[in-house]
Structure 1
Amino acid sequence: MTTMLLSEILGRSDVPTVEISGISNDSRDVSPGDLFIAYQGSQFDGHSFIQDAVNAGAVAICAEQDQPSDFRIPWIKEYDVAQRQAEFAARFHGFPSSRLNVIGVTGTNGKTSVAFGIANLLDNTAFMGTLGWGLPSTLEETPLTTIGSVSLQLSLSQLLARNFDQVAMEVSSHALAQGRVNCVEFDGAVFTNLTRDHLDYHKSMRNYADTKMKLFEQPELSYGIVNHDDEFGCVIIDKLQQRNIKCLTYGANPSADLSWSGVRHTSRGLCGYWLSPWGHEEFFLPYYGSMYVSNAAAILLTSLCNGQEFADVVAQMRTLPPVPGRMEFIKRHGRLTVVIDYAHTPDALRHALVAARAHAQGRVFCVFGCGGDRDVGKRPEMGRIAEILADEIYLTSDNPRNESPDSIVDDIMQGIAEPDSVVVELDRQIAIQLAIEAATPKDVVLIAGKGQESSQEIQGQRIPGDDRSMVENILDGAHLCYSG
């Protein structure tokens, strides 16, 4: 078991001599011998849980508030604990990221697909992100796209213990703003795109963009991979060039380092041609949706920056495994096609619907909702996009959290010109079943918003249920009476 003196963890000598065997900022996870870190968060005040941590065996407290006069274990007051806890955890675990090649992937959409692809292509590389963390084929679940800084440093140390050399990590804007990736030494950084999301948190697109930029301001950064087609991507390119940091670009624009042409949709995936200084190569990608060409380009360039050969990577990408919950096609012989996708932003929904249309011989059905306690402004925009690009719309629940599902649907309806044509069914499983039963074998049913998620967040409860299982049960269960 790793132990360290409290003075070493905090980097100061004016504290009691206490041996620490672990660090936690969640009283429910405290083990005997731990240092408990308390601070005022956006939703909860950690100081309210200090006694719970002591009862669980914490031997010292690091907090932003003054020590009560009758407190019986060491209580160290520190400033800006929320941001500095990463420093304490990194020090305790021996700065694990300094012994790993860490590749950060940020952007509104595509983070999971790009990071997952990198982890599958590069040798001995772990994945950390929305799907979980660890070996891509056997991931352990995580509650957030980028986990909290204390848990993150522990996970990085565990990856080292498992003899991983590299990690491809999704880096969310929340993580950058809240300091969750402080003291993570990023060797490479990848930017996918910037479109509307999280404005409930960031308040403006400018703030959102400035937060994303933080990943490309990391002092240890060796290279950046940037989407040349994105307006904010061009700002990042300028920033990297000013810092004399290697920057490779990708995009449909031929001026990018890696571009593409002749993209075709097939029943098995995407075909086309890569155009680059490393050669022109025909490619096949086992994915659906034109956005995956852009994602694949980011994966390819990252592989080149990590010593891979261009032609070898192009060949390996032909057999990349599917990304769970990302444009997953489910089809039964003689029946319609169902697509499950994580799309929960306007831009992602647009791309998913365009991809569904490319594979539909008949109509496109869209089953979706919007998350509660999140950016309200994107709801009518998603309704507008669905009405333009889908033939049939089924509105349902998608993690309503503490909001009324009816209220969320009302917000979405604000963007729909003909609301009477929309089917509203708040029970997600029933909504999915209604859409599938209404479709014909030539139609495509897109179920958007939750992807691989295994539960719904409703009034503080997690209700089990995942879209894939629902779809498979419906397709394999009752006889479907196709309309039309």
Structure 2
Amino acid sequence: MAFLKVKLIRAGTKRVPVGVGESKSKISKSKGPLVSVPIGKLLKGLQAKSISGDTDLAIRAIQYDSHQVQSGDLFVAIRGLQKDGHDFIPQALQNGATVVVAERDGDYHPQLKILAEDSRLALAQLANNYYDHPSSKLSVAGVTGTNGKTTITYWLKSILEAAGQKTGLIGTVRYYIGEREITATRTTPESLDLQALLAQMLQSDVKAVVMEVSSHALELKRAHGIDFKVAIFTNLTREHLDFHGTMENYRQAKGILFRNLSQGSVAVLNWDDSNSRQYANLTQAQRIFYSLKDNKAQFFAKDFKSSPKGTQALFATPNGEERYQLKLTGEFNLSNFAAVLATAQILGLNYWQIKRGAESFTGAPGRMEKIDLGQDFNIWIDYAHTPDGMERVLSTVKSFTKGRLICLFGCGGDRDKGKRPQMGKVAKQYADLVILSSDNPRSEDPAKITEEILSGIKDKKKVKVILDRKEALKYAVQSAAPADSVLVTGKGHENYQDIQGVKYPFNEREIIEEELKRQGYSKE
């Protein structure tokens, strides 16, 4: 595989006003009259099987939730994982929909009926037209891969804003328009919501957008039509097989991002993960590689040293050697930074601009998040919930732990069951004490989940089962001695516990800090 020279792309500066409202808690969905858009504009490039009815209509808004439909709206019937939008066409018409886009014909009679092979694709195309292609007026960087997406997006946001660029962020933890927070409904929003969010960012003078692009979003066409200036691949390991079925399907879903890149875009690929070769062959974009192992990559970590306090690193880049003192620790975070560094240079930032935002970054919420109230042992919370993610954080913490390593985790219910014994095996391999507890059991029995984790652990000595997660957290802190490390994985930034469809308030950091204070530690 040839390594190509880096080509710099400057962040865009133009903006076009888009008529959408503002909201501090969610993506704006204006309830009042919107500027009507001619149906002809929306239908440009739409892949439709048939169009019948009045094509001179003007559309108030696009909806995929029949409850949100108002008079003059276009309703798109999409098939969800649990419900089928086609079943709600009558309700959409009753609420005033004048146009219906669907995959199946039937006994329903809007003023305009559009039948499409794939209504999810149609929704993405219609939304992009409705909001006037906002991503084409922004510098959008998308990140896909099993692990590292959240850290990379937050790190890039820190660098871009330190360089004076107002930045939008879309991802698992929350969405940002500059400093304004919006509650995240999913890692990558539905296509209509995503286009609306990008339009709000453009209207708010955002220049660059960093976003996580999940495999679900790619498979379900949520990100279709987004003009990515840069697309980053981190790594690929077992995850989401409850949705994709096989690793090959999962691999191909990630590849959609790179297959759809334009020639003017750049694919930033992790040379240390062999899947990068496949994605490099898929794309017509320019290919840039980063590596911790191969000095032929354009961005190569020549020398680095990690400790609990952070990482010192020397990188070889197309702009010469660059030295960084990072607050994040571990090789996996150094790999994340290599992707960040490559992307920042591609977006036109210089060494001092990158250094300012890179070295001040303290981490994304719930990603190797340290809890320090002055205790003489280390405590970290991390979102790792895959065998590979567990191994990455466990091996890192193990490498600088002088005492014992205590690991507390569980596995989520209604998700890939095959990874449960693998996670148990990895935890026992690195930890001196393993505490198994409930994660987000959802509709499953936590005890049954724990049994499946235990099936991967041959030697069950020094394995403790405490299903009540609050009690398990307190026990982990109580068990720690000087120089020990406590690593709590699985929930990370989450502030709830999902049990039988109900999300109960649950903040691990608060519980741990409460126990530390009970033992006499404090932040003072």
TM-score, L = length of structure 1? 0.92
Do 2:324 and 2:355's aligned partners in 1 also have CA atoms closer than 8 Å? yes
Q: CA deviation at 1:262?
A: 3.6
Q: How does 1:176-325 map to 2 (within 5 A)?
A: 176-220=218-262, 221-240=264-283, 243=284, 245-325=286-366
Q: How does 1:27-426 map to 2 (within 5 A)?
A: 27-31=66-70, 33-54=72-93, 58-68=97-107, 75-122=113-160, 123-135=165-177, 137-220=179-262, 221-240=264-283, 243=284, 245-426=286-467
Q: CA deviation at 1:410?
A: 1.4
Q: CA deviation at 1:54?
A: 4.8
- Looking at structure 2, the residues matched to 213 and 19 of structure 1 have their Cα atoms a distance apart, in angstroms, of 37
- Looking at structure 2, the residues matched to 469 and 21 of structure 1 have their Cα atoms a distance apart, in angstroms, of 46
Alignment match of 2:489 (pick from 448, 455, 468): 448
Judging changes above 3 Å, is the alpha-carbon distance between structure 1 residues 427 and 3 closer, same or farther for their aligned structure 2 residues?
A: farther
Q: CA deviation at 1:31?
A: 4.8
Judging changes above 3 Å, is the alpha-carbon distance between structure 1 residues 396 and 27 closer, same or farther for their aligned structure 2 residues?
A: farther
Letter in 2 for 1:323: A
- Looking at structure 2, the residues matched to 162 and 65 of structure 1 have their Cα atoms a distance apart, in angstroms, of 39
Query: Hey, what does 1:470 align to over in structure 2?
Result: 511
Stretch deviating more after TM superposition (115-124 or 323-332): 115-124
- Looking at structure 2, the residues matched to 297 and 258 of structure 1 have their Cα atoms a distance apart, in angstroms, of 7
Count residues with an aligned counterpart: 477
Structure 1: state its 5+ residue gaps. none
Letter in 2 for 1:201: F
1:128-180: per-residue Cα shift (whole Å, max 9, x none)?
A: 11122224644312121111111111111111111112211111111111111
- 1:280 match: secondary structure: strand
Q: CA deviation at 1:34?
A: 3.1
Letter in 2 for 1:9: L
Judging changes above 3 Å, is the alpha-carbon distance between structure 1 residues 408 and 56 closer, same or farther for their aligned structure 2 residues?
A: farther
Q: CA deviation at 1:300?
A: 0.5
- 1:197 match: secondary structure: coil
- 1:4 paired with 2:37, answer yes
Judging changes above 3 Å, is the alpha-carbon distance between structure 1 residues 121 and 21 closer, same or farther for their aligned structure 2 residues?
A: same
Do 2:261 and 2:285's aligned partners in 1 also have CA atoms closer than 8 Å? no
Stretch deviating more after TM superposition (279-288 or 6-15): 6-15
Judging changes above 3 Å, is the alpha-carbon distance between structure 1 residues 36 and 435 closer, same or farther for their aligned structure 2 residues?
A: same
Judging changes above 3 Å, is the alpha-carbon distance between structure 1 residues 419 and 44 closer, same or farther for their aligned structure 2 residues?
A: farther
Letter in 2 for 1:338: I
Q: CA deviation at 1:190?
A: 0.7
Letter in 2 for 1:381: Q
Do 2:395 and 2:430's aligned partners in 1 also have CA atoms closer than 8 Å? yes
Alignment match of 1:20 (pick from 59, 63, 68): 59
Q: How does 1:432-447 map to 2 (within 5 A)?
A: 432-447=473-488
Cα RMSD of the aligned pairs, angstroms, is 2.3
Do 1:106 and 1:171's aligned partners in 2 also have CA atoms closer than 8 Å? yes
Do 2:159 and 2:356's aligned partners in 1 also have CA atoms closer than 8 Å? no
Do 2:215 and 2:254's aligned partners in 1 also have CA atoms closer than 8 Å? yes
Do 1:119 and 1:136's aligned partners in 2 also have CA atoms closer than 8 Å? no
1:23-49: per-residue Cα shift (whole Å, max 9, x none)?
A: 221234445543222122222111233
- Looking at structure 2, the residues matched to 74 and 424 of structure 1 have their Cα atoms a distance apart, in angstroms, of 59
Letter in 2 for 1:226: L
Do 1:6 and 1:15's aligned partners in 2 also have CA atoms closer than 8 Å? no
Letter in 1 for 2:220: Q
Do 1:7 and 1:14's aligned partners in 2 also have CA atoms closer than 8 Å? no
Do 1:67 and 1:76's aligned partners in 2 also have CA atoms closer than 8 Å? no
1:213-239: per-residue Cα shift (whole Å, max 9, x none)?
A: 111112425211111111111333344
- Looking at structure 2, the residues matched to 436 and 392 of structure 1 have their Cα atoms a distance apart, in angstroms, of 12
1:161-211: per-residue Cα shift (whole Å, max 9, x none)?
A: 111122111111111111111111111111111111112222222222122
Judging changes above 3 Å, is the alpha-carbon distance between structure 1 residues 58 and 427 closer, same or farther for their aligned structure 2 residues?
A: farther
Judging changes above 3 Å, is the alpha-carbon distance between structure 1 residues 336 and 103 closer, same or farther for their aligned structure 2 residues?
A: same
Letter in 2 for 1:125: T
Do 2:373 and 2:513's aligned partners in 1 also have CA atoms closer than 8 Å? no
Do 1:120 and 1:136's aligned partners in 2 also have CA atoms closer than 8 Å? no
Structure 2: state its 5+ residue gaps. 1-33
Do 1:263 and 1:272's aligned partners in 2 also have CA atoms closer than 8 Å? yes
Judging changes above 3 Å, is the alpha-carbon distance between structure 1 residues 404 and 236 closer, same or farther for their aligned structure 2 residues?
A: same
Matched residues, percent identical? 36
- Looking at structure 1, the residues matched to 324 and 278 of structure 2 have their Cα atoms a distance apart, in angstroms, of 29
More relative contact order, 1 or 2 (CA 8 Å, 6+ apart): 2
Judging changes above 3 Å, is the alpha-carbon distance between structure 1 residues 55 and 426 closer, same or farther for their aligned structure 2 residues?
A: farther
TM-score, L = length of structure 2? 0.85
- Looking at structure 2, the residues matched to 137 and 270 of structure 1 have their Cα atoms a distance apart, in angstroms, of 27
